[in-house]
Amino acid sequence: MNTTTDDYFNAFTMDPWWPIVFAKVLGLFILLVLIVLITIWAERRVVGRMQMRIGPNRVGPLGLLQSLMDGVKLAFKEEIFPTAADKFVYILAPILATIPAFLAWAVIPLGPMVWMFGYQTPLQLTDFPVSVLYIVAIASIGIYGIVLAGWSSGSTYALLGGLRSSAQMISYEVAMGLSFVAVFLYAGSASTSQIVAAQEKTWYIILLLPSFLIYVTAMVGETNRAPFDLPEAEGELVGGFHTEYSTLKFAVFFLAEYINLVTVSALATTLFLGGWRAPYPISLWAGANEGWWPLVWFLGKLCGFIFVFIWLRGTLPRLRYDQFMKFGWKFLMPVSLVWILIVGFARAMRNDYNWDLRQTVIVIAVPIIAILIVMYIIESIRERRADAAVAEEEEARTEFDPMAGGFPVPPMPGQSYTPTRRSKATVGVTALPVSTDAEIEEA
Amino acid sequence: MTGLATVMLSVIDTGEQITFWICGSLALIGALGMVLSRKAVHSALWIAMTMINLACLYMAQGALFLGMVQIIVYTGAVMMLFLFVLMLVGVDSSDSVVETIRGQRLAAGLAGLAFALMLIAVISRVTLGDVGTQGADAVYGGNLQGLAALIFGKYLLAFEVTSALLITAAIGAMILAHRERIEPKKEQKDLSKERFLSGEHPGSLPPPGVYARHNAVDTPALLPDGTLAENSVPASLRARGAIRTVDRALGDEVQQLAAGDGSLEGEDLR
């Protein structure tokens, strides 16, 4: 694409409402619903295989229509409104969870310029200079659906599940947002199609591997999927935020959850795996990145991510909540911040002083290794000191000094209070006539 | 006088006007709803709606980045924290509508009216030279690029100082809420040790007996050797003596099994 940025974004506003925009919207909707149906089926089959069973195989060929039948069944279930529910918010919550899930796909580039009904148009509904931020914004609106579902159900399990999952999503959204920064720095743009265009030579999974790993971890946390599926830890919270939901409202939550899964996978593909660009051996064929073919590569990468999601679910046990939060805030965040610093430094050096990659790597790696060595030494000294302090404390614990430091102090945990011997004068003061309860009652 | 209205009308195109009337009225409805609703959580929702509509207005005027950040920061983070607090504290009971300070409503209404009049008076007299972001964007080649150049160039110091201020506030809040731990935190290992050392049954108790013919909490489960699992029935039932004995609940086969009779081993029980 050798058009300028403005021309490129203008291409979207040129699209006529009928039939291009309409066809794109309808196509996206159908694609998403189909992907969700197939993902649910694939998840049950693949997890089944991993657990040495067969999985659904009754409805339709290979059981493919199973999720459709489940949806139909849910639609005909009895509608339940809990008495303690806040009815308006209770109905609003599933809507708020689902609509943003669909909206996020408006900016996902599925392919390059294609011919559609006699018009040439990009295979993407719309795009603007900050479209990745748009996805983040839309996702943060989607969290409202979950929080409100938990609150409006009027049930403790649902409330706790809702708070838990939204706290989780917000925490991991931070790490996720930080992993975008390196991509923006390299692509020089926050627009999805521009990022794909910038990956023409090298995919960012190679250039920015740490960002990719952080993003992949954060995206599993963001979608509440195993091993980070704490909001629906059955042993603790029953179903989490949707415990009180039934019928289509429940189905819609399910739909939103799976669309979010597909959305984060699509975003990972776009940001790190070259979007719709053909993978290496295929990219040697000249026509691989033209016409409708890229849609195939895109969907293939998407399926790869979805499979990883399923694989994780079949393999890893659930984390404990405090460990999970600690991981997000105390590991992922600092690591991504340091990584952003490194990337920023490398970019600045290349832009301003024309450093090559080897020079940059040496300049960055040497001080980092030095810092790590120094930190290791300091840490080992500190550990030794801490051990000594613990031993000292243990010693101190056995004996309670009521006048430690010259002041009367209470016993520390582990110490027991030994009554001190009182002087005669004190005994005299405490021995004032005190009436017992029985005496008071008598009087 | 080049009034605001005339400048606006000359710059704004139809699409932006439509957006303005829709989002503007929705934002106003949200603001009114926030003031008028009784439940605190509903108020929070209304104000979230106002914020999203304001973001749409920013975007319609070409400030895309500002609009996105408005949603991410204000709707996604700030309002979400408000909601958390409201839900955890449980301020969902309808507040009393009795005036606590006399004449408060009247005074507030008058003050609001005066403020609105002042705003209208001032804004209608403003003279604007360059309206919209087009002019500013053109200098740096785009809205995002312009913001980046200004924040990380001309206003770098102000930006850094502001962020230092925010970090100070955050650290201050953490220090205020911090509580020194006087004994080491119990890890999962310590808790598990404690549980076993107490001498009580460490796991959950066995569930009551569930047989093909009977299923109730007053029916004890059978242990592998055929004896009754006493603690599978709630203690209160045990104390009351309201335990259904296995022979009353079950047929001959299980009774024989319970009695440890080996005669049934074979095809029947397989």
Query: What confidence tens digit (pLDDT) does each residue in B168-202 have?
Result: 999 999 999 888 888 888 888 888 888 888 888 88
Q: At residue B140, does pLDDT exceed 50?
A: yes
pLDDT: which is higher, B230 or A332: A332
Residues B128-139: tens digit of each pLDDT: 776 667 777 778
State how far the Cα of B157 lies from the Cα of A342, in Å rounded to an integer.
Answer: 22
| Sole residue written with tokens 């005299």 | A428
pLDDT: which is higher, B97 or B74: B74
Structure confidence at residue A420 (pLDDT): 59
Structure confidence at residue A431 (pLDDT): 43
Residues A57-89: tens digit of each pLDDT: 888 888 889 888 988 998 888 888 888 888 888
Determine contact: A130 vs chain B, CB below 8 A. yes
Kindly list the residues from chain A whose CB atom is less than 8 angstroms away from the CB atom of residue B204.
none
Gyration radius (Cα) of chain A, Å: 30
pLDDT band at B116 (very low <50, low <70, confident <90, very high): very high
Structure confidence at residue A3 (pLDDT): 40
- Say whether B76 and A137 touch across the interface (CB within 8 A): yes
Determine contact: B41 vs chain A, CB below 8 A. yes
Kindly list the residues from chain A whose CB atom is less than 8 angstroms away from the CB atom of residue B80.
140, 143-144, 147, 166, 170
Is residue A190 one of the residues assigned to a domain? yes
- Nearest by CB: A130 against B92, B144, B183: B144
Is residue A34 one of the residues assigned to a domain? no
Residue of B nearest to A135 (CA): B68
From B99's Cα to the closest Cα of chain A, the distance in A is 26
Is residue A216 one of the residues assigned to a domain? yes
Average pLDDT over chain B reads 80
State how far the Cα of B159 lies from the Cα of A184, in Å rounded to an integer.
Answer: 20
HSE of A179, CA atoms in CB hemisphere, 13 A: 29
State how far the Cα of A282 lies from the Cα of A285, in Å rounded to an integer.
Answer: 6
Top mean-pLDDT range of A28-37, A75-84, B14-23, B218-227: A28-37
Q: At residue B17, does pLDDT exceed 80?
A: yes
Kindly list the residues from chain B whose CB atom is less than 8 angstroms away from the CB atom of residue A137.
55, 68, 71-72, 75-76
Structure confidence at residue B166 (pLDDT): 93
Structure confidence at residue B209 (pLDDT): 78
- A125 touches A110 (CB < 8 A): no
Structure confidence at residue A242 (pLDDT): 84
Determine contact: A181 vs chain B, CB below 8 A. no
Kindly list the residues from chain B whose CB atom is less than 8 angstroms away from the CB atom of residue A170.
76-77, 80
Structure confidence at residue B96 (pLDDT): 62
Q: At residue B22, does pLDDT exceed 50?
A: yes
State how far the Cα of A159 lies from the Cα of A239, in Å rounded to an integer.
Answer: 11
pLDDT band at B234 (very low <50, low <70, confident <90, very high): confident
pLDDT band at B257 (very low <50, low <70, confident <90, very high): low
Is residue B108 one of the residues assigned to a domain? no
Greatest Cα pair distance in chain A: 108
| Sole residue written with tokens 């979010």 | A260
Residue A291: left if φ>0, alpha if ψ -120 to 50, beta else—which one? left
Structure confidence at residue A87 (pLDDT): 85
| Rounded average pLDDT over B145-151 | 86
Structure confidence at residue B98 (pLDDT): 67
Structure confidence at residue B265 (pLDDT): 46
- A163 touches A150 (CB < 8 A): yes
The whole domain housing B255 covers: 205-264
Is residue A423 one of the residues assigned to a domain? no
Number of domains in chain B: 1
Low-confidence ranges of chain A (pLDDT < 50): 1-4, 426-433
State how far the Cα of A78 lies from the Cα of A247, in Å rounded to an integer.
Answer: 7
Is residue B228 one of the residues assigned to a domain? yes
Is residue A320 one of the residues assigned to a domain? yes
Is residue B106 one of the residues assigned to a domain? no
pLDDT: which is higher, A171 or B260: A171
- B48 touches A144 (CB < 8 A): yes
Determine contact: B48 vs chain A, CB below 8 A. yes
Is residue B223 one of the residues assigned to a domain? yes
- Phi, psi at residue A238, to the nearest 5°? 55, -110
* DSSP states of A10-53: HHHHHS-IIIIIHHHHHHHHHHHHHHHHHHHHHHHHHHHHHTTS
| Rounded average pLDDT over B27-52 | 89
Is residue B1 one of the residues assigned to a domain? no
The whole domain housing A288 covers: 79-355
Is residue B33 one of the residues assigned to a domain? no
Determine contact: B152 vs chain A, CB below 8 A. no
C-alpha separations of B139 from B105, B142, B147, B173 in Å: 49, 8, 11, 41
Is residue A54 one of the residues assigned to a domain? no
Determine contact: B183 vs chain A, CB below 8 A. yes
- A131 touches A190 (CB < 8 A): yes
Structure confidence at residue A378 (pLDDT): 94
- Say whether B64 and A128 touch across the interface (CB within 8 A): yes
Residues A368-380: tens digit of each pLDDT: 899 999 999 999 9
Number of domains in chain A: 1
Is residue B60 one of the residues assigned to a domain? no
- Phi, psi at residue A46, to the nearest 5°? -70, -45
User: Strand, helix or coil at A120?
Assistant: strand
Residue B184 per-residue DSSP state: P
Residues A166-187: tens digit of each pLDDT: 888 888 888 898 999 999 988 8
pLDDT: which is higher, B34 or B266: B34
From A133's Cα to the closest Cα of chain B, the distance in A is 6
